[in-house]
């Protein structure tokens, strides 16, 4: 099976076998950790998991919202949130973390440590020529020009420089973590503000106000003059809609605040569209009894995925799924500034969390039916 084309597009930036440097007078801002989309020129950031970047069309577009429907024990969705924040630390983006259950500092301390050797190793190996070594069985004798190319993988991966790999068994060094600017919002420590005129309940209202203050103060919406380098703000909002946020959409059939979360997401969308920020929101959708509300929440976000882990369900012993930890459903992909959107090959995806990689793979091949079929 050939490596996907998308993986090769990014590799031209790392496998620079020529000294040709394209002279770009690009009007796009060059912010570290971002790249323009191949499809429609949108500015993309990595979600921290390169397989996920591939599945959602190259990365998360700046100004959009990624919705993650949590799995039952909130283990893998929390992991994705940590990958997202860790990627922000490594790329030098600013972070905003809001949670109601665990203190944001606790989540920050659990961030996985980046595998820096991987990136450095690949760079070093390109510079040197590889002499054929009889003791080293890995050195290629005949196809030596391909020595430095990445091995073909069945896992979906994009360029290494854009995204990074993390070692889940180690936590990030405190120095690296503290180098990143992080704003936090811990719901249980906020004083409730009584806003009788707003249709939003107090926790959501204060969270939105806090986000807006950070965006304004740090100049992500272009309001302050550009004295410093432009940067991207990553917002991580954990477990919105759960009871701890003062919302009863997850515990009642007919909630009193059934429009609170949807109004919140609508205003958040407005804030994201008018600033250089990207948000990842996790929602415990398995607790909502009303499927219509979940449908509206998905429509109000741009990219939406759902995680279904096998732990504790009968699928755990199913031989079909023995290599994987769960299924990944792509609920929605955005159409940003263009008519068409990234259409995936197949929607049957499964994920597994290894120590050094969160891999997302196809469960089985789709039917061989396309406009450009290769004749056998």
Partner 1 sequence: MFPELNSILNSTPDSFKSSDFILVSDRRADASFLIHHHLSFYLRAGCKVCFLGLVQSFSHYSAVGQRLGVSLAQAREKGQLVFLEGLKNSIGVILQEDTSQETQPLSYLRTPGAGLEGLFRFVESSVRQSGDGDAGESWGPPVLLIDDLSVLLSLGVSVGAILDFTLYCKATVCSELQGNMVILVRCEEEDADDDEEGSNLLQRGLVHQCNLALHVEGLPTGYCRDIHGQMEVWWRQEGETICNRRKIFHFKVHDKGASFFARGTSSAVL
Question: Which stretches of the chain bind partner 1, using CB under 8 A?
Answer: 197-200, 205, 208-209, 212, 259, 262-263, 266-267, 269-271, 273-274, 290-292, 295-296, 299-300, 335-341, 343-347, 366, 369-371
CB neighbours of residue 222 within 10 Å: 12
Q: Please answer whether residues 326 and 76 qualify as being in contact, where contact means their C-beta atoms are separated by less than 8 angstroms.
A: yes
**Closest distance of CB 176 from partner 1, Å:** 34
- Tell me, what DSSP letter sits at residue 279? E
Least Cα distance to 346 among 366, 326, 328, 331 occurs for 366
Q: Which is nearer to partner 1, 108 or 249 (CB)?
A: 249
Q: Which is nearer to partner 1, 192 or 199 (CB)?
A: 199
Helix (H) or strand (E) holding 204: helix 202-217
Residues 314, 301: Cα–Cα separation, whole Å: 31
**Closest distance of CB 22 from partner 1, Å:** 23
Q: Which is nearer to partner 1, 75 or 210 (CB)?
A: 210
Q: Which is nearer to partner 1, 1 or 339 (CB)?
A: 339
Helix 260-273 × helix 202-217 angle, to 10°: 10
**Closest distance of CB 347 from partner 1, Å:** 5
Residues 256, 241: Cα–Cα separation, whole Å: 13
Contacts of 318 (CB under 8 A, 6+ apart): 310
3-state helix, strand, coil in the chain (%, to 5): 30, 20, 50
**SS3 category, 327:** strand
Q: Which is nearer to partner 1, 76 or 264 (CB)?
A: 264
| 185 strand-pairing partners | 98
Helix (H) or strand (E) holding 76: helix 76-91
**Closest distance of CB 6 from partner 1, Å:** 15
Question: Which value, in Å, is the radius of gyration of the alpha carbons in the chain?
Answer: 22
Least Cα distance to 32 among 278, 272, 178, 230 occurs for 230
**Closest distance of CB 205 from partner 1, Å:** 8
Q: Which is nearer to partner 1, 170 or 335 (CB)?
A: 335
**Closest distance of CB 325 from partner 1, Å:** 23
Residues 49, 59: Cα–Cα separation, whole Å: 9
**Closest distance of CB 198 from partner 1, Å:** 6
| 282 strand-pairing partners | 68
Q: Which is nearer to partner 1, 209 or 217 (CB)?
A: 209
**Closest distance of CB 267 from partner 1, Å:** 5
Phi, psi angle pair for 235, to nearest 5°? -105, 125
Q: Which is nearer to partner 1, 162 or 264 (CB)?
A: 264
């Amino acid at each position: 099976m050939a490596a996907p084309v998308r993986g090769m597009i990014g590799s031209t930036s790392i496998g620079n076998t020529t000294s040709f440097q394209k002279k770009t007078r690009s009007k796009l801002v060059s912010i570290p950790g971002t790249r323009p989309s191949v499809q429609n020129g949108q500015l993309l950031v990595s979600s921290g998991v390169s397989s996920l970047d591939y599945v959602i069309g190259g990365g998360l577009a700046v100004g959009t919202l990624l919705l993650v429907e949590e799995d039952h024990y909130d283990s893998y969705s929390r992991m994705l949130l940590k990958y997202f924040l860790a990627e922000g630390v490594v790329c030098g983006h600013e972070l905003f973390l809001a949670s109601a259950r665990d203190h944001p500092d606790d989540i920050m301390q659990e961030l996985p440590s980046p595998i820096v050797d991987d990136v450095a190793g690949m760079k070093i190996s390109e510079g040197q020529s590889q002499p054929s070594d009889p003791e080293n069985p890995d050195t290629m004798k005949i196809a030596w020009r391909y020595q430095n190319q990445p091995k073909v993988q069945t896992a979906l991966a994009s360029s290494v420089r854009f995204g990074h790999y993390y070692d889940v068994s180690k936590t990030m060094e405190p120095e690296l973590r503290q180098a990143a600017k992080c704003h936090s919002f811990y719901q249980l420590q906020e004083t409730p503000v009584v806003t009788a005129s707003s249709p939003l309940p107090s926790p959501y209202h204060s969270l939105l106000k806090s986000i807006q203050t950070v965006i304004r103060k740090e100049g992500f919406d272009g309001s302050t003059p550009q004295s410093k380098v432009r940067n991207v703000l990553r917002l991580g909002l954990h477990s919105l809609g759960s009871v701890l946020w003062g919302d009863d959409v997850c515990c009642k059939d007919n909630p009193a605040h059934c429009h609170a979360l949807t109004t919140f997401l609508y205003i958040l969308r407005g804030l994201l569209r008018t600033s250089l920020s990207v948000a990842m929101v996790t929602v415990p959708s398995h607790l909502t009894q009303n499927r219509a509300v979940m449908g509206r929440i998905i429509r109000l976000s741009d990219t939406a995925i759902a995680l279904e882990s096998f732990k504790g369900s009968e699928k755990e012993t199913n031989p079909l799924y023995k290599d994987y930890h769960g299924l990944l459903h792509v609920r929605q992909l955005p159409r940003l500034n263009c008519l068409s959107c990234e259409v995936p090959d197949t929607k049957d995806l499964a994920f597994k969390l290894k120590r050094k990689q969160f891999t997302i793979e196809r469960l089985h091949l789709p039917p061989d039916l396309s406009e450009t079929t290769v004749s056998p």
